[in-house]
Structure 1
Amino acid sequence: MDVIDIIVTKRDGGELQPGQIDWVIDAYTRGAIAEEQMAALNMAIVWRGMTRAEVSRWTAAMLGSGDRLDFSDLPRPTTDKHSTGGVGDKITLPLTPAVAACGAAVPQLSGRGLGHTGGTLDKLESIPGWRAELSPAEMRRSLTDVGGVICAAGAGLAPADRKLYALRDVTGTVESIPLIAGSIMSKKLAEGTGSLVLDVKVGSGAFMKDTESARELARTMVDIGNDNGVRTVALLTAMDAPLGRQVGNALEVAEALEVLAGGGPDDVVELTVRLGREMLAAAGLPGAKDPADALRDGSAMDAWRRMIRAQGGDPDAPLPVAAERREILAPASGTLTRLDAHAVGMAAWRLGAGRARKEDPVSPGAGVTLHAEPGDHVRVGRPLFTLHTDDPARFDRAAESLTDAVTLDGEDTRLPLVIDRIG
């Protein structure tokens, strides 16, 4: 194989053959292909795209670069959910124990946040004692005993993707649907789940800003999953406004606990239930207990408490609270017709809830509380947002992020919470 021939083939719009894809992924992972050569191939893919066959083989090659977990011998069928990320997206927290309470096993490998979207592990690490790093044996034990686990992916899963993503991040080649889809799916398939439900976000707070590109990404990932023997479906869901009323690590855990206790914001509850039903159906459990019932009767909360304890956490411990708060008041009265998710995410990030670099620490108590959502009537001088931080010097820049975040009495252009289903 000659890497230059492979680059030129894709540059000129040709289709890479399975053997070429297998070789280039393996050689790059081993260090036999220079960074600049792989960057050139990535850029050619950005411009020329990939066929379904190419994307599926690219994903399979990255999957084959490392370990693949196998939970097929568990007494419960396995199913998982992956979200493309958004503001206030705490759905994994109530969803995993709710689905576990309905009879499935959920091996949820999650990540930490970067930029304005929060990471599930950052949220859970605000619980005293909870640990993200588990061995495969510990994962298996939690899946057997509890039915769910949320933890960090081991270094041995899809190492090609880890190396490729770092290169794409610094070479302007992140924005490619085939490369995004291959990156996400290589990691999710490595988990060893038998079925997968994708939550592809659309809107200002999401990576995909418009429905058309989100639908293309969803279709590509669904095809990859099914081509690799994992039953896969996707929901396109709204991220033009934040999910729920809390944005920030410990704040979102507290709101997830409200949902697990049978309450919580309507949108968080609805999406938890919709995704849970899809997961159970994909796992071959269409007659299972309904996730809505698991939230109402306390069985989802019971599964949550067992899951947290299994990873060293104390489900009864108080969550961290930021040292400082500041309220932002409504500038006028009227009906809130727009609440920009990206602006709220940036405010939370500036307060310390997120990170600019992977090695940055996060403040567990930092974030934003929303006192109104689109459709609500607000009154002048009443609190619209509460900002939480440990460093009061952060308040002014966070408030700047929210300057144009709200529209009153404008045209209601909200997306429906669930826009489409692909599968």
Structure 2
Amino acid sequence: MTQGFAAVDVIRAKRDGHELSDAQIDWVIDAYTRGTVADEQMSALAMAILLNGMTPAEIARWTAAMIASGERLDLSGVGRPTVDKHSTGGVGDKITLPLAPLVASFGVAVPQLSGRGLGHTGGTLDKLEAIPGFRTRLGADEFADQLRTVGAAVCAASDALAPADRKLYALRDVTGTVESIPLIASSIMSKKIAEGTGALVLDVKVGSGAFMKDVGSARELARTMVELGGAAGVRTVALLTDMSVPLGLAVGNGIEVAESVQVLAGGGPADVVELTLALAREMLAAAGLPDADPEGALATGKAMDAWRAMVVAQGGDPDAPLPTPKEVELLRAESSGVVAGLDAYGVGVAAWRAGAGRARKEDPVSAAAGVLLHRRPGEWVERGDVLAELRADDPARIPAALADLRAAVTVADAAPERPPLVIDRIA
């Protein structure tokens, strides 16, 4: 039991710009987890943190206190080096699906605890559940055993892992305090450190479809997380990657699985392959295999074998057909020209409105809904050419989704220069 404080005194201290002590942080996280500190009090403290920030020492202690609120997994008995990847979320970001089995095919364990989609960003668990029979809930022993035998496991985190973060995350979502870099960094890193991985590669997205809209904020978040990981003994590196345009051509659940399988079969869109390989190289180097050849593992089918083994281990059928939509609406070019813009946020919202995402955590999602792009920025189109197709199960969802999709695509005389897919590396 930590030393007691009055919640209002902790709130006032941060409101007035003071640095919280280790004891204050330990107490407030513990008391909030137990229900002694009320939601409205933690809301006020979160707002004070958003407005006044935190020192590196405060962020480190806040993260440690959230880890201490629950269990910490011990993966030392897995018998393989462990390395995980975390993305800050984007549109068409299906990279975990080909990446985890690709890295696992080299004898590395990838303990991927993933989440569900909310709003315009998709969730890895929602995508995998489009595969008939796939289970995203694994017990601790089952999780460890799958890492030993298959090498990759992608599932939901246990409720016992960083429960303080689960409670605080839900609160931030409804109190306008999501954007705080100290709170984002501690939220992500408390879960990843508690997961027990030996190394971590972060994919910090930048652009309209990302949480961080500008490179400066993304770089600050990445540096903060890399420092937190290093201080906790987890080898951590971050890549800043572009999310102004959706990744790949598929945005949805089942269609992103299909595109991931194309990558594992040695094909797929060039940008998805590029980012998968960039992150795989970082993960393999962190696991002690700097000379591994992930490109070769895609070409030979080695990565596909690991994918199939992972799907089967989690109850899925890798050969089963994926869900198909009841409604398909085509978006056609209204004029000839070059695709100059393909706004990631707008495409993500269109997929969400079609049924691929949720507005609240408890909402169901459609496995078949989404957007399949037919053109990318820089490509020439004639008037009447298909730019994209909108997929939905409910025809009532089509009009609003189609309006968002149309607004996301710009056809002009020329396309502006795009930033590189990998913008920066922070270690």
- TM above 0.5, yes or no, is yes
SS in 1 for 2:406: coil
Measured in 2, the distance between the counterparts of 1:305 and 1:206 equals 30
| Residue 87 in structure 1 maps to residue 91 in structure 2 | yes
For each residue in 1:91-136, what CA deviation from the matched residue of structure 2 results, as whole angstroms up to 9, or x when unmatched?
0000000000122110000011010111000000000010000001
Residue 199 (structure 1) aligns with: 203
Residue 283 (structure 1) aligns with: 287
| Residue 273 in structure 1 maps to residue 303 in structure 2 | no
1:152 is matched with which residue: 148, 153, 156? 156
Superposition misfits of 4+ residues, deviation over 6 angstroms: none
Measured in 2, the distance between the counterparts of 1:276 and 1:411 equals 31
Is the Cα–Cα contact under 8 Å of residues 78 and 145 in structure 2 kept in the other structure? no
Is the Cα–Cα contact under 8 Å of residues 377 and 415 in structure 2 kept in the other structure? no
Is the Cα–Cα contact under 8 Å of residues 378 and 415 in structure 2 kept in the other structure? no
| Residue 385 in structure 1 maps to residue 391 in structure 2 | no
| Residue 253 in structure 1 maps to residue 271 in structure 2 | no
Residue 78 (structure 2) aligns with: 74
| Residue 327 in structure 1 maps to residue 330 in structure 2 | yes
* Superposed CA RMSD: 1.0
SS in 1 for 2:76: coil
| Residue 101 in structure 1 maps to residue 122 in structure 2 | no
Residue 130 (structure 1) aligns with: 134
Is the Cα–Cα contact under 8 Å of residues 72 and 194 in structure 1 kept in the other structure? no
Unaligned runs of 5+ in 2: none
1:222 is matched with which residue: 218, 221, 226? 226
Residue 411 of structure 1, CA deviation: 4.9
Residue 393 of structure 1 aligns to which amino acid in structure 2? A
Residue 239 (structure 2) aligns with: 235
Measured in 2, the distance between the counterparts of 1:394 and 1:411 equals 31
Residue 186 (structure 1) aligns with: 190
| Residue 351 in structure 1 maps to residue 354 in structure 2 | yes
Question: After alignment, is 207-216 or 404-413 more displaced?
Answer: 404-413
Is the Cα–Cα contact under 8 Å of residues 338 and 414 in structure 1 kept in the other structure? no
Residue 319 of structure 2 aligns to which amino acid in structure 1? D
SS in 2 for 1:80: strand
SS in 1 for 2:8: helix
SS in 2 for 1:326: strand
Residue 422 (structure 1) aligns with: 426
Residue 172 (structure 1) aligns with: 176
Residue 67 of structure 2 aligns to which amino acid in structure 1? L
TM-score normalised per structure 1: 0.98
SS in 1 for 2:363: coil
| Residue 360 in structure 1 maps to residue 363 in structure 2 | yes
Residue 341 (structure 1) aligns with: 344
Is the Cα–Cα contact under 8 Å of residues 335 and 382 in structure 2 kept in the other structure? yes
For each residue in 1:352-411, what CA deviation from the matched residue of structure 2 results, as whole angstroms up to 9, or x when unmatched?
000111111111000111001112111211100111111112111111102321222345
Is the Cα–Cα contact under 8 Å of residues 331 and 406 in structure 2 kept in the other structure? no
Residue 335 of structure 2 aligns to which amino acid in structure 1? A
Residue 74 of structure 2 aligns to which amino acid in structure 1? D
2:216 is matched with which residue: 212, 218, 227? 212
Measured in 2, the distance between the counterparts of 1:403 and 1:259 equals 28
Residue 63 of structure 1, CA deviation: 0.6
Measured in 2, the distance between the counterparts of 1:411 and 1:254 equals 29
Residue 371 (structure 1) aligns with: 374
Residue 300 (structure 1) aligns with: 303
Is the Cα–Cα contact under 8 Å of residues 79 and 193 in structure 1 kept in the other structure? yes
Measured in 1, the distance between the counterparts of 2:268 and 2:415 equals 27
Question: After alignment, is 84-93 or 16-25 more displaced?
Answer: 16-25
Residue 73 of structure 1, CA deviation: 2.6
For each residue in 1:144-190, what CA deviation from the matched residue of structure 2 results, as whole angstroms up to 9, or x when unmatched?
11111000001000000111112112221111000011111111111
Measured in 2, the distance between the counterparts of 1:405 and 1:248 equals 16
Residue 195 of structure 1, CA deviation: 0.4
Residue 350 of structure 2 aligns to which amino acid in structure 1? A
Measured in 1, the distance between the counterparts of 2:307 and 2:223 equals 32
For each residue in 1:214-266, what CA deviation from the matched residue of structure 2 results, as whole angstroms up to 9, or x when unmatched?
11111111111111111111000000000000101000000000000000000
Measured in 2, the distance between the counterparts of 1:217 and 1:237 equals 13
Question: After alignment, is 76-85 or 170-179 more displaced?
Answer: 170-179
Measured in 2, the distance between the counterparts of 1:278 and 1:122 equals 26
Question: After alignment, is 270-279 or 330-339 more displaced?
Answer: 330-339
Residue 200 of structure 1, CA deviation: 0.4
Measured in 1, the distance between the counterparts of 2:393 and 2:224 equals 42
Measured in 2, the distance between the counterparts of 1:404 and 1:357 equals 24
Question: After alignment, is 221-230 or 120-129 more displaced?
Answer: 221-230
Is the Cα–Cα contact under 8 Å of residues 94 and 260 in structure 1 kept in the other structure? yes
| Residue 44 in structure 1 maps to residue 51 in structure 2 | no
Measured in 2, the distance between the counterparts of 1:86 and 1:177 equals 17
| Residue 13 in structure 1 maps to residue 17 in structure 2 | yes
Residue 367 of structure 2 aligns to which amino acid in structure 1? P
Residue 255 of structure 2 aligns to which amino acid in structure 1? L
